[in-house]
Amino acid sequence: MNYQTSPGAPVRSGIPEHGRVPKYYAVKAKIALMVDELGEGGLLPTERDLAVRYEVSRETVRQALRELLLEGRLRRQGRGTVVAGPKLEQPLSLASYTEGVRRQGRRPGRSLISLDRFPCPEALAPEVGAERGEPVWHMERVLLADDERVGLESTYVSEARAPRLDTEFDPDSSFYAYLHDRLGISFGDADERIETVLATPREALLIGTPPALPMLLIHRVSRDTAGRPLERVRTLYRGDRFSFTAHLGQQN
């Protein structure tokens, strides 16, 4: 059996055991080789040219390109298709989004969509350390990397923990840094849950992606060093632009 030798590559390049390869997948494999040769920013031939080159229909080429776009290997640029850069690696840790992006030499940023205050509902109360009906902040921001929209973040925190959030905090900066440097609050631990979802039409519009693009959704509930509930965060990351890393160690 001829296995792939590239680390992390699918066994036998994803060929089914019966050996019959879907036509679009064969074309996808050939385009993937072209992608490697072109390098980041390289312009792909048109769908028509690819169909002629590989002697298949344009619909077959379109399906192959669609998968490579969803995987983040390609991206649309104007009316053409170019090779995308490597995915952003976000660590699963208490480090903020800002720190994770900076470590990869990219410029992090956020664009404020809304900052509202509302009475805390019962379901949210234990997660932010508030009583039902007490004021809670909801801050929604688009995540940026070198001015590219890559995600959408919703943060919930009680007004008691950040009473002047609307006047003191720069929405383009790190919320974690604000809590630590301005309010003297340090993060102790957090629980996270990750799932794949499709963005709602509103979310897709804010992030600038088609609704069919898979998203990585992270739910986080954080506590301070004293173990008190601090914040609840819901973050959508573009599935074609992000991967997540974690260091695993032996439990004591």
Say if residue 65 is in the same domain as residue 115.
no
Distances, alpha carbon 81 to alpha carbons 41, 149, 208, 236, in Å: 9, 18, 17, 25
Say if residue 76 is in the same domain as residue 110.
no
DSSP character at residue 22: -
Query: Per-residue pLDDT tens for 51-79?
Result: 999 999 999 999 899 888 877 788 888 88
Helix (H, G, I), strand (E, B) or coil at 132: coil
pTM over 0.85: no
Sequence letter at residue 51 = A
Helix (H, G, I), strand (E, B) or coil at 153: strand
pLDDT at 94 over 60: yes
Query: Per-residue pLDDT tens for 120-164?
Result: 999 999 999 999 999 999 999 999 988 889 999 999 999 999 999
**Tokens, residue 2:** 């001829």
**Where are the alpha helices (H) located in 103-200, listed in sequence order?**
125-128, 165-168, 175-181
117 pairs with which residues across the strands? Answer: 137
**Residue 192 is part of which domain span?**
86-243
b/e code 26-54 from CB counts within 10 Å (16+ = b): bbbeebbeebeeeeeeeebeebeebbeeb
pLDDT at 17 over 60: no
Number of domains in the chain: 2
Say if residue 117 is in the same domain as residue 155.
yes
Query: Per-residue pLDDT tens for 233-246?
Result: 999 998 888 777 77
Distance CA 165, CA 243 (A): 31
Q: Among 181, 207, 159, 162, which Cα is nearest to 96's?
A: 181
All residues at 6 or more sequence positions from 12 whose CB lies less than 8 Å from its CB, including other chains: 1, 2, 3, 4
CA terminus-to-terminus distance, the chain: 41
pLDDT at 1 over 50: no
Distance CA 210, CA 113 (A): 19
Say if residue 189 is in the same domain as residue 204.
yes
Distance CA 51, CA 112 (A): 43
Half-sphere exposure of 130 (CA within 13 A, CB side): 26
Query: Per-residue pLDDT tens for 202-212?
Result: 999 999 888 87
Query: Is the pLDDT higher at 249 or at 31?
Result: 31
pLDDT at 5 over 70: no
Strands (E), the chain: 74-77, 80-83, 88-91, 108-119, 135-145, 148-158, 187-198, 214-224, 229-238, 242-245
Say if residue 103 is in the same domain as residue 141.
yes
Q: The CATH number of the domain where 141 resides is what?
A: 3.40.1410.10
Say if residue 108 is in the same domain as residue 39.
no
Please state, rounded to an integer, the average pLDDT across all residues of the chain: 86
Q: How many CB atoms lie within 10 A of CB 84?
A: 20
Q: Does 250 reside within a domain?
A: no
Say if residue 34 is in the same domain as residue 157.
no
